[in-house]
Structure 1
Amino acid sequence: MGYVEIGPKIKEVFDHRQMKLTDFADELGTVRQNVYRIFRKRHLDTGLLLRISQVLNHDFFQYYSNEPAQTDKNGNHSSETEYQRQLELSRKEIDYLRRIIKLMEEKSVLIR
């Protein structure tokens, strides 16, 4: 697989989704100017790329895979549901970890 410039791929999917730039920026927790920078980036932090994948409901990590992307008759990636399942599991894990952190913070207050 060749070199991937992820910013233009994100822009392409963003344009296809016909989402407002301001809404996209808000969902990412950033400002419009940073979104324009993202569209020009060659590389992105995986955490940010995961968040963008969630917001745009698109697996951008597939562009880094050596496996060819398979599409169904509608042009959707056949593994898209698997990625959605993985994203949902990741969200649940993050929620679980946040609860653990909160409990640990509460215990630390009691110990003091």
Structure 2
Amino acid sequence: MLYKNIHIGKYIKEMVDHKNIPIERICNFLGKDEEFVENVYESQSIGTDILLRWSKLLEYDFFRLYSSHLILYAPPAAANKNTTPKSDTTPQFRKNIYTQEIKDFILNRIESGEMTQAEVIKEYSIPKSTLHRWIQKKR
């Protein structure tokens, strides 16, 4: 799965098809009509409240797709960036948290020859030692 361009409606439709959920159940759960559901399948993005309902219905965390995108494609933080005041209590995005899906995605790109280790390190800002540790564990 590529995390760069997310078409959430396509992923929702795939999961509905995979789980064989009838349209009537979907409409009842969401409190919407069939036209709304079809529009969701065509939508590249939807509201978080609706996405949360879909996640519950399909028992799949669709927000993880966006988290994976951030891990892979967010620009690296500046090393000496000190613009955040210490009293700031908002959650900070940590780029050093890699899910198993992300690790598998990266390792599959290397194994398939799509990317070299050096390209992965440069493109995704993954430390060389971290990448080598993943490769060793996979063997």
Q: Deviations over 1:6-45 (max 9, x none)?
A: 0000000010110101111110110111100000000110
| Partner residue, 2:100 | 70
Structure 1 or 2: more helix by fraction = 1
- The unaligned stretches of length 5 or more in structure 2 are 72-97, 102-139
Runs of 4+ residues over 6 Å off in structure 1:
none
What's the TM-score, normalizing by structure 2? 0.48
Aligned counterparts of 1:16 and 1:61: Cα–Cα separation in 2: 19
Amino acid at match of 1:59: D
Over the aligned positions, Cα root-mean-square deviation in angstroms equals 1.5
- The unaligned stretches of length 5 or more in structure 1 are 72-112
Aligned counterparts of 2:6 and 2:99: Cα–Cα separation in 1: 14
Per-residue deviation at 1:70?
A: 2.4
Structure 2 counterparts to residues 1-112 of structure 1, below 5 A: 1-66=3-68, 67=71, 69-70=99-100
Query: How many aligned residue pairs are there?
Result: 71
SS at match of 1:65: helix
